[in-house]
C-alpha cells in the first residue's frame, strides 16, 4: 500500500474513534490530543497532517459526515481538497485530490463544486444571532485556519523577528494595532528564547483590539473580574503602566496560578491575584470578559459549532447579565465598566448590555475615539472575523455617573 493510502486508513480510523463524541464533547481537542498520544508511531509531521484533516472535517462536518457512511473514500478526498495547503498536507492532498481544481477560497464556491449546501456549515441558529456570520466574507473567514497572533511586550521587535527568521518563522506586523505581530508559519513560539524572556504573549489580534478600542489610559486601579489565565490581564497591566495596578479575579484557581506564571515571565509587577473579592472595594475600571458560547472562536475550535445549542446561548446570556450586574458594583462613581465576549451572538452581546442598562440607570454607553474597523451594534461593537483576520469578539464600554 502507498504511503498516502496508509495515511488515509489511519485518518479514517481516527475519525471513527472521535465520531461518537463530536456532537457532544465541548472538550474534544483534549480527546484528539489523547488519541495522538496513544498512537506513539506518529511523528510530528504525521500529527500535523492528521490534526489538519480532523479539524477540516469538523469545520465542514455536515458535508463530510454523511459520506463517511455512504462513500468513505470520497469523504477523505473531500477533506483533502478542503484542507489547508501546508508542508505537512501537501503530498497527501496531491495524492488524493490532485485531479481536482484548486480549492476556491469562498464557502459558496466550494459548495457549488461539491454540490453541497453552503449554509449547512453553520448551525441553523447562528445567522439569526449574527447575520454577517452567514455570508461572505465572514462565512469564509470562519472556515479558515486561525492565524497565530502575538502581543509584544517590547519595543525591540528585531530581537523577536531575528530569532524567528532563523527558525524559518516569517512574521508580519499589522497597521491596525502597533505591537501586534502575525506569525506566518506553523510554529511553537513557546519554544523560543524571546518567549522565555517574556518579550511577547500569544493573544489573538481581535482580543487585543478590545482594550485598544475601549481606550484604557495609563494609571488607575482596575479589576479584571473574569481573568482566566490572564491574556487581557497582562495587556491591561501594560496599558495602565507602572502608575496603575490590575487586580485579577477568577473562580478557577488553576487559571490564576497560570496567570501568576505568565505575569512573572512578562515582568508585570503591577498585577495582583484575588481568589476572593472584598465587598465594598471600588475600582477606577472593571473589565468583565464574560464566559460565553465561544462562537467567535469557531475558526480555531470548529467542534464548538456542533456542541453548542441555541438553548446554551440563552443560558450563557442569563449568566453574563448576572456577572455584569454583580461586578458593576465594584466600579467607583465616574469609573468605567468594559464588557466583552468572544461570541458572535447578539443575545450574549448587545442584548446583555441593553438589559443591564435598562436596570442600571447610573451607567451609560461611552463611544470610543476610534472603532478600529469594528462593526457598530445598537450598543457596543462587534469585531468580526473577516475585518482583521481574527476571532470574533464583542465589547461595550460604559461609564458610571
Higher pLDDT, 278 or 304: 304
- Give the pLDDT band of residue 21 (cuts 50, 70, 90): very high
Q: What is the dihedral of CA 339, 345, 350, 356, to 10 degrees?
A: -70
How far, in Å, CA of 395 to CA of 368, rounded? Answer: 11
| Residue 39 confidence class, pLDDT cut points 50, 70, 90 | confident
Q: At what angle do helices 310-328 and 350-359 cross, to 10 degrees?
A: 40
* pLDDT at position 158: 95
pLDDT band of 230, cuts 50, 70, 90: confident
- Report whether 281 contacts 330 (CB < 8 A): yes
pLDDT of residue 40: 80
- pTM of the predicted structure, to 2 decimals: 0.95
Neighbours of 47 (CB within 10 A): 16
The CA distance from 361 to 41, in Å, is 62
Residue of higher predicted confidence among 302 and 43:
302
Q: pLDDT band for 270, please (50, 70, 90 cuts).
A: very high
Tens of pLDDT, residue by residue over 180-193, are 999 999 999 999 99
136: Cβ–Cβ under 8 A, 6 or more apart, which residues? 106, 107, 108, 386
User: What pLDDT is stored for residue 184 in this prediction?
Assistant: 96
* pLDDT exceeds 90 at position 42: no
Residue range 193-224, pLDDT digits in tens: 999 999 999 999 999 999 999 999 999 999 99
Say whether 130 is catalytic.
Answer: no
Ordered domains of the chain (ranges, CATH): 3-121 (no CATH), 148-202 (3.30.70.1170), 206-400 (3.40.50.150)
Place of cell 501546508: 86
Tens-digit pLDDT profile for residues 98-124? 999 999 999 999 999 999 999 999 999
Note the pLDDT of residue 368. Answer: 92
Place of cell 482583521: 388
Question: Does the pLDDT value for residue 129 go beyond 80?
Answer: yes
The pLDDT of residue 104 is 97
How much is the pLDDT for 43?
Answer: 81
3-state helix, strand, coil in the chain (%, to 5): 45, 15, 35
Ranges of H-type helices in 123-173: 126-129, 138-141, 157-166
CA distance 142 to 145: 8
Q: Quick one: what percent of the chain has pLDDT higher than 90?
A: 94
From the list 97, 130, 226, 342, the catalytic residue is 342
In this predicted model, what pLDDT tens digit does every residue of 318-367 receive, in sequence order? 999 999 999 999 999 999 999 999 999 999 999 999 999 999 999 999 99
Task: Note the residue count of the chain.
Answer: 401
pLDDT average, residue stretch 287-296: 97
Amino acid at each position: 500500500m502507498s504511503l498516502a493510502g496508509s495515511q488515509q486508513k489511519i485518518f479514517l480510523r481516527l475519525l471513527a474513534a472521535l465520531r461518537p463524541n463530536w456532537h457532544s464533547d465541548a472538550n474534544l481537542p483534549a480527546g484528539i490530543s489523547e488519541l495522538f498520544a496513544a498512537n506513539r508511531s506518529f511523528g510530528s509531521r504525521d500529527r500535523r497532517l492528521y490534526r489538519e484533516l480532523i479539524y477540516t472535517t469538523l469545520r465542514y462536518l455536515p458535508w463530510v459526515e454523511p459520506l463517511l457512511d455512504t462513500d468513505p473514500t470520497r469523504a477523505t478526498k473531500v477533506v483533502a481538497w478542503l484542507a489547508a495547503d501546508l508542508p505537512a498536507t501537501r503530498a497527501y492532498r496531491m495524492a488524493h485530490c490532485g485531479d481536482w481544481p484548486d480549492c476556491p477560497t469562498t464557502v459558496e464556491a466550494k459548495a457549488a463544486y461539491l454540490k453541497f449546501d453552503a449554509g449547512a456549515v453553520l448551525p441553523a441558529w447562528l445567522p439569526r444571532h449574527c447575520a454577517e456570520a452567514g455570508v461572505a466574507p465572514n462565512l469564509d473567514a470562519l472556515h479558515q485556519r486561525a492565524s497565530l497572533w502575538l502581543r509584544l511586550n517590547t519595543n525591540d521587535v528585531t530581537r523577536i523577528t531575528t530569532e524567528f527568521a532563523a527558525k524559518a518563522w516569517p512574521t508580519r506586523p499589522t497597521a491596525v494595532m502597533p505591537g501586534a505581530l502575525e506569525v506566518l508559519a506553523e510554529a511553537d513560539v513557546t519554544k523560543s528564547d524571546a518567549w522565555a524572556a517574556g518579550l511577547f504573549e500569544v493573544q489573538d489580534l481581535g482580543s487585543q483590539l478590545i482594550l485598544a478600542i475601549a481606550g484604557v489610559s495609563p494609571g488607575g486601579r482596575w479589576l479584571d473580574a473574569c481573568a482566566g489565565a490572564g491574556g487581557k490581564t497582562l495587556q491591561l497591566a501594560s496599558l495602565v503602566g507602572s502608575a496603575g495596578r490590575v487586580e485579577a479575579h477568577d473562580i478557577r484557581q488553576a487559571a490564576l496560578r497560570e496567570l501568576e506564571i505568565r505575569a512573572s515571565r512578562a515582568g508585570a509587577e503591577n498585577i495582583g491575584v484575588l481568589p476572593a473579592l472584598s465587598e465594598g472595594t471600588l475600582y477606577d475600571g472593571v473589565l468583565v470578559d464574560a464566559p460565553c458560547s465561544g462562537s467567535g472562536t469557531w475558526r480555531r475550535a470548529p467542534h464548538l459549532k456542533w456542541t453548542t445549542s441555541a438553548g446554551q446561548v440563552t443560558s450563557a446570556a442569563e449568566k453574563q447579565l448576572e456577572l455584569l450586574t454583580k461586578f458593576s458594583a465594584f466600579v467607583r462613581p465616574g469609573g468605567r465598566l468594559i464588557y466583552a465576549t468572544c461570541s458572535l451572538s447578539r443575545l450574549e452581546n448587545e442584548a446583555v448590555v441593553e438589559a443591564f442598562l435598562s436596570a442600571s440607570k447610573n451607567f451609560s454607553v461611552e463611544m470610543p475615539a476610534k472603532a478600529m474597523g469594528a462593526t457598530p451594534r445598537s450598543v457596543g461593537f462587534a469585531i468580526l472575523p473577516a475585518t482583521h483576520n481574527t476571532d470574533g469578539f464583542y465589547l461595550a464600554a460604559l461609564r458610571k455617573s
